[in-house]
């Protein structure tokens, strides 16, 4: 997804998908072919690497406990837009017109590739639906939010930042790093208090979770809420805040991750042909319209 105007100071990545692609560098597809690896190396030039690095510097500097509280106040009123789920997908796709079709898939393609791969493996329909909707919170971009407050790895705020989070050195300029309320291992939290009691850095994951929380089964909600929490689902850095239910549910988050990262299909799914199936699936679980 391109920025409509490239405000490089605020939005250092050429497109928000550069973050997702950078994940493939950290967690390469074990099944990638030599050709795919080569294509990926060509894609990740030094300019993109620098853009992603600057993006993380901003993310780690400005995602504070107070910032998250502010964003909750602003966005959890859900007074920005009312849309059907399909309308939201189409809305999310409005920023991609100028993207390079050779490299960049539009958001709908990423969602369909994820959900179709889940479907092909015979998983339950709520899991397919979760794949189809998991990134819709990125509409935050269209509400004028900077990249660093929409995408990127998520992590708890209100307690010490783990050095297992990507680019941990960038937390040095985060005001919470020197605020004594937040610098201990547990900060404002109790041991194993459960992630539902923990504030995560603000972005598309938490936002969509809050929109979906009354409509989907627990594993789906965990996937939506924590799919960018790599410091836990890949690195296991925050088990001390998790309860038994979290651990159980994170098995689903882990199951979902390869579909999110590695589901690029050689032939893109035919969105028009698949639309009736997804319309049925969406209406099975979700109301006619949703408030964003």
Provide the binding-site residues for Fe ion, judged by CB under 5 A: 135, 260
Per DSSP bridges, beta strands 290-291 and 82-83 are: antiparallel
Minimum CB distance to Fe ion, residue 44 (Å): 18
Minimum CB distance to Fe ion, residue 114 (Å): 6
Tokens of 48: 């993109």
Q: Quick one: 135 or 246, whose CB is closer to Fe ion?
A: 135
Minimum CB distance to Fe ion, residue 139 (Å): 12
Which CA distances in Å does 97 have to 104, 145, 163?
A: 11, 19, 38
Minimum CB distance to Fe ion, residue 180 (Å): 33
Q: Quick one: 159 or 195, whose CB is closer to Fe ion?
A: 195
Minimum CB distance to Fe ion, residue 112 (Å): 11
Cβ-Cβ contacts under 8 Å for 168 (sequence gap 6 or more): 60, 161, 162
Give the helix/strand (H/E) hosting 290. Answer: strand 290-291
Q: Quick one: 182 or 207, whose CB is closer to Fe ion?
A: 207
Q: Quick one: 130 or 182, whose CB is closer to Fe ion?
A: 130
CB atoms within 10 A of CB 177: 15
Cα–Cα distance, 222 to 206 (Å, whole number): 10
Q: Quick one: 54 or 260, whose CB is closer to Fe ion?
A: 260
Task: Give the DSSP per-residue string, 140-188.
Answer: GGGGT--GGGTSS---BSSSPPPTTSSSGGGGGG-GGGG-TTT-SSSTT
């Amino acid at each position: 997804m391109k920025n409509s105007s490239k405000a490089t100071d605020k939005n250092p990545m050429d497109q928000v998908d550069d973050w997702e692609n950078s994940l493939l560098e950290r967690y390469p597809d074990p099944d990638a072919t030599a050709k795919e690896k080569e294509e990926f190396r060509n894609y990740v030039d030094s300019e993109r690497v620098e853009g992603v690095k600057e993006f993380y510097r901003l993310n780690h500097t400005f995602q504070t406990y107070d910032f998250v509280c502010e964003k909750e106040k602003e966005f959890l009123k859900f007074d920005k837009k009312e849309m059907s789920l399909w309308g939201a997908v189409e809305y999310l796709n409005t920023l991609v017109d100028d993207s390079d079709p050779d490299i960049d898939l539009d958001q709908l393609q990423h969602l369909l590739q994820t959900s179709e791969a889940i479907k092909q493996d015979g998983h339950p329909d709520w899991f397919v639906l979760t794949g189809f909707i998991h990134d819709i919170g990125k509409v935050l971009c269209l509400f004028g939010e900077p990249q660093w407050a929409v995408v990127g790895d998520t992590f708890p705020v209100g307690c010490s930042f783990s050095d297992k989070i990507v680019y941990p050195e960038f937390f040095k300029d985060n005001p919470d790093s020197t605020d004594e309320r937040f610098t201990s291992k547990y900060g404002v939290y109790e041991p194993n208090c459960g992630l539902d009691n923990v504030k995560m850095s603000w972005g598309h994951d938490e936002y969509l979770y809050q929109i979906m929380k009354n409509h989907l089964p627990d594993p789906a909600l965990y996937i939506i809420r924590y799919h960018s929490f790599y410091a836990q689902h890949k690195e296991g850095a925050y088990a001390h805040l998790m309860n038994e239910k979290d651990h159980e549910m994170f098995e689903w988050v882990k199951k979902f991750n390869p579909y999110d990262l590695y589901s690029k299909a050689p032939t893109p799914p035919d969105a028009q042909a698949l639309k009736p199936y997804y319309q049925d699936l969406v209406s099975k679980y979700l109301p006619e319209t949703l408030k964003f």
